[in-house]
Structure 1
Amino acid sequence: MAYATVTELTGFLDPEPVPAGAARLLDRASRDVDLALECAIYAVDAGGLPTDAGIAATLKEATLEQAAWRIENGEEHGIASPAGSAAIGSVNVTRAASGAAGSGSVGDLGAQAYNVLRLAGLAADGPVIW
């Protein structure tokens, strides 16, 4: 289940158009956000959504940022070719991994989505409270 709606994405991207398959894009962006939350502990309801309004707002904002990052990087479908290289004769094509140095992202999470989670203390490599 996505942390944001197509209507929210439409408002977030304005004036840019929302791509076809926006609901699927938000589902995938939400999964990207979930992967960054491996060490986060918070209460969820029966549908798996956070019960705390502040955490819910943070996850929605991070999901919208991630969806925008996917669109900007041509990843709105989540099916781009993986990192690596291929050669045909003397032609060699190399695609850097998501999150490679200088790419502005952390793993498959865009920089702005990561910043939202990190500032809220939810990113997997964020602060540890003892």
Structure 2
Amino acid sequence: MTGDTEITRRAEALKLLLKERLGVGGRDLAVALRRARWRLPRRLRGQADMVASAARMGANPKLARRLNGPALDAAFRDLRGYLKGIDVGEVRKDRILGWLSVIVFDLILIAGAFVLWLWWRGYV
């Protein structure tokens, strides 16, 4: 990493991708990553923590020198690649189909209970 300006630029770009692809936001990257944590794969959660701490440390010049440049570049690259691969339309479709399946299951369960009640009462 060349400096704190590049770290903050990349952090803002990652925060924007989190907002676009996962719909999570926050006042800074750490908050956005905390809100998106359960949606990230397990292998990327540690890298997300490293990126959040680097974004926080990047504002201080003395702390910015302690950052591991190649590992941080790899973490930014992996997170960005994962977020770029998310299809927002597919996620939306899956969410709607999930809700509809729950509603249909509940309706079938209620109709079955109603028919059972009718049979028990002798109406069927």
TM range (shorter): 0.3 to 0.5
Q: Which has the larger radius of gyration?
A: 2
Structure with more of its chain in strand, by fraction: 1
- TM-score with structure 1 setting the length: 0.33
- Structure (1/2) with the larger helix percentage: 2
TM-score, normalisation: structure 2: 0.34
